[in-house]
Amino acid sequence: MSSKSASNLALVAVVLIYATALWQNPDAIKNPQLVPTPTSLVAPTLEPGIPQITILDPYIHGTGLFQFFQPGDDWYLERDDYNPDYQRASTVYISPSRLSVIHAFVEIGVSYDSLQEVSDSLFTDLYFDVEWGQFKSWRFTNRQVTDDLITIEFALEDDRNELLKYISRQISWLEGDWLYTIRIVVPDNNQILLDQLFELASPTMIGYQNIGSLPLRGWRQFSDQSHRMMIKLPDDSRQISGSSGQPMSYVTSAIGDGRITIQRIANQSITSLDAVQTFLDTLHDDVTIIDTYPTKQVFATGYQVTYVYKTISGDLVK
């Protein structure tokens, strides 16, 4: 954190917080959670041409583990959850007018040597019997495994209306011991919508593996999209000042009377210890650095610093 946040933090706060920069793109059964089915019993009219999808700011999962594409219009967030038994964090969007579902999830702490092993040992018939449990039937229509990606396609039948049929595509990939999956369901007459949604959504799923080292329950993320910042704090944290685009301060019982402030200063990088001292001197008088070490986050590098300074009245603040 490069702000006045450090000015009021007790030393214990250093191990309790972790902020990360956010990326925005302009451009064996694991978890028996059923894939939601669309809500209407009436087949939608196929929209002409390329489907028009409104794109909102990326959505950050409640755990802070990943961010993902957020559609506008009539799409609504049906689920944001975390299953500790399977270490799966999920986000689900549904569009009633398009009878479509977007499901993105990440499973952390997995142990696979390759995507071929994931495909063979995890993505089995039994696995999808559970995943597609709310549909009358399902079948594979295609499966492809490369060094970078698993792509599986399906045909589905609605459990409530035999006239409604769907197609689905799922893509999965590994990053270390994290398994990422995006799964989209659309009516079977709207292949163009399926392709368009994947084109928009696929590049936007970004994991924050540094967050995985923090408690996933009992802590929550706070973010400022305008400054592309996120911080994860205990559940009892509350914002006491600031707004989007401005410094924001929080309090939590974890640090007693201290406060945590996050702030982004544009066009100012910290690349050395001398730069750290220079920056702190612009914030306070009589700054003394107690401890510092380099820190690397997903889209940023810098320093974590503990320091003291004197107020105008001569009081020492740590």
- Residues 67, 149, single domain; the answer is yes
- Residues 170, 309, single domain; the answer is no
pLDDT of residue 232: 78
- Residues 82, 188, single domain; the answer is yes
- DSSP helix/strand/coil, 204: helix
- Residues 91, 194, single domain; the answer is yes
Q: Quick check: is 154 in a domain? A: yes
- Residues 158, 80, single domain; the answer is yes
pTM of the model: 0.74
pLDDT of residue 41: 55
- Residues 64, 190, single domain; the answer is yes
Beta carbons within 10 angstroms of residue 156's beta carbon: 22
Given a contact cutoff of 8 angstroms between Cβ atoms, the answer to whether 109 and 177 are in contact is yes
Number of domains present in the structure of the chain: 2
Given a contact cutoff of 8 angstroms between Cβ atoms, the answer to whether 242 and 38 are in contact is no
- Looking up tokens 């540094």 gives 210
Q: Long-range contact list for 265-269, CB < 8 A, 24+ apart?
A: 265/2, 265/3, 268/2, 269/302
Q: Quick check: is 22 in a domain? A: no
What DSSP element (H or E) covers 193?
A: helix 191-201
Q: Quick check: is 48 in a domain? A: no
- Residues 70, 193, single domain; the answer is yes
**Tens-of-pLDDT digits for all 318 residues of the chain?**
333 333 332 222 232 333 445 554 444 334 445 566 565 556 666 777 788 899 998 999 988 899 999 999 899 999 999 998 889 999 999 999 999 999 999 999 999 999 999 999 999 999 999 999 999 999 999 999 999 999 999 999 998 887 889 999 999 999 999 999 999 999 999 999 999 999 999 999 999 888 877 777 777 777 777 667 777 788 888 888 888 778 888 888 888 887 888 877 777 778 888 888 888 888 888 888 888 888 877 667 888 888 888 877 767 776
